A and B are shown apart, each in its own frame.
Chain A
Amino acid sequence: MSNMIKKTSAFEIVNHWAMAISFFILVISGFGFLFHLDIMNSIFGSFSQMRDIHNYAGVVFAVSLFFSIFNYLAEAIAFTGEDIAWLFKGGGYFSKNARVPAQGRLNAGQKGFYLLLLITGIAISATGLIIWLRPVSTDINKWVLLSHLIHNISFDIMIIAVVSHIYLATLANPGTFRIMVYGTVPVEWARKRHARWLEKKGV
């Protein structure tokens, strides 16, 4: 196992999990709100407490989303021809013997996922803040209603995307999960998946 390569920084890992944990808290409490799940009273103490936790978890989420920009944004918006071709091949997920174009540190799917997360994350955070803090305005009710709508649309998109993300990062791609634990991957593993990255790094 000596030929490992560092794929993620410690900061990135911490940030990822900060986001992930806050996200799960947000999802669970969000579902509690949406579907009036009484069990939340046992988990969070009360709905009032859950509301506070939801709000502050939202802050953690928003902050980690902000920091994630430094980790991913530059890479995520740099779409190459190979990335597009990768997407056309569905990332090779719909064949047992997929051939996919070479990818950078992030593959096109990951880039796409990140951009989606970023956009919906900004939307959900901003609208969450509006619902929470009701910044003074003459038309606050209209703003809150709009925010509530966007918050929920974002949530629906996000929750589907994140389920897929979890699947792809675990069962669908064995060996991926350790990236967010140790930060390193075997070079060979990486070469198969992120050839361009390795090229760039001269490995």
Chain B
Amino acid sequence: MPRKSFLISPELCIGCRGCQTACKGWNQLSATKTVNYGSVENPPDLSPELYTKIRYVEMPSETNMARWLFVSQRCMHCGDAGCMRICPAPGALSRTDDGAVVYDKEKCIGCRLCVTSCPFDVPRYDENNKITKCHMCFNRIAEGLLPSCAKTCPTGAIQFGDRDEMIGLAMKTGYQKVYGEPDLKGLGALYAFKDAPKIYGMKENPAIPESVVFWHNVLKPLAYWGVGGAVAASLLHYIAFGPKKFEEVTKDE
């Protein structure tokens, strides 16, 4: 089955936040009590009750009084997902045939390691200490529906479909490259950026933390081979030298 992905175009986003509400609707997430803290952006951060949000970036502009960018923020469904790499609980995080990184709260052990190894600071923990995040509406897409955010987006700022087609769509629209290809074996949320990603609050070269890669590639096998090696060395030693004998030593003394 071809991998699916979002194509998010901040140029088309009007910041209406229909996606934020639609996501809550489909996932039946409750609201949090917020205050206006001097911004139209609210809630201020992703939370167990907020899988996706629009980030409002207000910045200086050469032609106008300001430049105002609206950036959809959510799980990126990385092709090589830091959360999946580090997660110690089998089945807690998995990838669907569509490429969605999904989770099973029953299997989540609440260790929060996924939080630390996510390059995009996405996973949040609910009141039962279980992972929550965008799951690409895996239960909708499996039935051939669009994810609720993409379904509700009025301007096509959030598109969804086969990943190759999404890349093609961005290219057709005139983007030379899309953010999320080929980083992390390709993101499941591609972004069509007109400017440098950092302007939109995104990392230039997203990557799984080096220590996690080192752990995954070196330390983990070392634990396996280390034990085996030590046992094997012991056996070899036993065969070669046998148990230690001290008779001669005593005589020498």
Determine whether A and B are in direct contact in the complex, meaning some CB atoms lie less than 8 angstroms apart.
yes
Task: Give A residues with C-beta under 8 Å from B.
Answer: 30-38, 47-48, 50-51, 92-100, 102, 131-132, 134, 140-142, 144-146, 148-149, 152-153, 155-156, 159-160, 163-164, 167, 171-174, 191-193, 195
Provide a sorted-by-A list of 25 A–B residue pairs whose CB atoms are within 8 angstroms: A34-B88, A34-B224, A38-B90, A47-B89, A47-B109, A48-B109, A51-B88, A93-B244, A98-B249, A99-B248, A99-B252, A100-B249, A141-B116, A145-B209, A148-B211, A148-B215, A152-B219, A160-B226, A163-B227, A164-B233, A171-B234, A171-B238, A172-B238, A173-B244, A193-B246
Q: How far is the CA of A156 from the CA of B220 in the complex (A)?
A: 8
Contact with A along B203-246 (1 / 0, CB 8 A): 00000010110110001101110110111011001100111111
Q: Which listed residue (B90, B112, B234) contacts A167, Cβ 8 A?
A: B234
Give the shortest distance, in Å, between B124 (CB) and chain A (any CB): 13
Q: How far is the CA of A100 from the CA of B212 in the complex (A)?
A: 44
Residues of A within 8 A of B89 (CB): 33, 36, 47-48, 51
Q: 9 tightest CB-CB pairs across the interface, nearest first?
A: A163-B230, A33-B88, A192-B246, A167-B234, A36-B90, A149-B211, A51-B109, A47-B89, A141-B116
Contact B109 A92 (CB under 8 A): no
Contact A192 B249 (CB under 8 A): yes
Residues of B within 8 A of A132 (CB): 111
Q: Chain B: how many interface residues by the 8 Å CB criterion?
A: 46
Contact B229 A160 (CB under 8 A): yes
Q: Is B115 positioned at the interface, with any CB of A under 8 Å from its CB?
A: yes
Residues of A within 8 A of B219 (CB): 149, 152-153, 155-156
Q: Is B156 positioned at the interface, with any CB of A under 8 Å from its CB?
A: no
Q: Is B67 positioned at the interface, with any CB of A under 8 Å from its CB?
A: no
Contact B250 A96 (CB under 8 A): no
Q: How far is the CA of A140 from the CA of B90 in the complex (A)?
A: 24
Give the shortest distance, in Å, between A31 (CB) and chain B (any CB): 7
Q: Which listed residue (B88, B224, B246, B250) contacts A47, Cβ 8 A?
A: B88
Q: Which residue of B lies closest to A164 (CB)?
A: B230
Contact B253 A195 (CB under 8 A): yes
Q: Which residue of A lies closest to B234 (CB)?
A: A167
Q: How far is the CA of A200 from the CA of B2 in the complex (A)?
A: 76
Q: Is B9 positioned at the interface, with any CB of A under 8 Å from its CB?
A: no
Q: Which residue of B lies closest to A152 (CB)?
A: B219
Residues of B within 8 A of A160 (CB): 226-227, 229-230
Q: Is B117 positioned at the interface, with any CB of A under 8 Å from its CB?
A: yes
Q: How far is the CA of A164 from the CA of B237 in the complex (A)?
A: 11
Contact B220 A34 (CB under 8 A): yes
Q: How far is the CA of A164 from the CA of B224 in the complex (A)?
A: 15
Residues of A within 8 A of B238 (CB): 167, 171-172
Q: How far is the CA of A47 from the CA of B214 in the complex (A)?
A: 24
Q: Is B177 positioned at the interface, with any CB of A under 8 Å from its CB?
A: no
Q: How far is the CA of A56 from the CA of B139 in the complex (A)?
A: 37
Q: A36-B90, A145-B212, A164-B230 are in contact. Are A152 and B220 (CB under 8 A)?
A: yes
Contact with A along B7-36 (1 / 0, CB 8 A): 000000000000000000000000000000
Q: How far is the CA of A64 from the CA of B226 in the complex (A)?
A: 25
Q: Is B83 positioned at the interface, with any CB of A under 8 Å from its CB?
A: no
Q: Which residue of B lies closest to A142 (CB)?
A: B116
Contact A159 B88 (CB under 8 A): no
Q: How far is the CA of A85 from the CA of B232 in the complex (A)?
A: 27
Q: Is B113 positioned at the interface, with any CB of A under 8 Å from its CB?
A: yes
- 5 new A-B contacts, CB < 8 A, other than A34-B220, A47-B109, A131-B111, are A98-B244, A99-B248, A141-B115, A145-B212, A195-B253
Q: Is B107 positioned at the interface, with any CB of A under 8 Å from its CB?
A: yes
Contact B226 A172 (CB under 8 A): no
Q: A47-B88, A93-B237 are in contact. Are A174 and B243 (CB under 8 A)?
A: yes
Residues of B within 8 A of A134 (CB): 112
Contact B116 A145 (CB under 8 A): yes
Residues of B within 8 A of A36 (CB): 88-90
Q: Which residue of B lies closest to A141 (CB)?
A: B116
Contact A131 B113 (CB under 8 A): yes
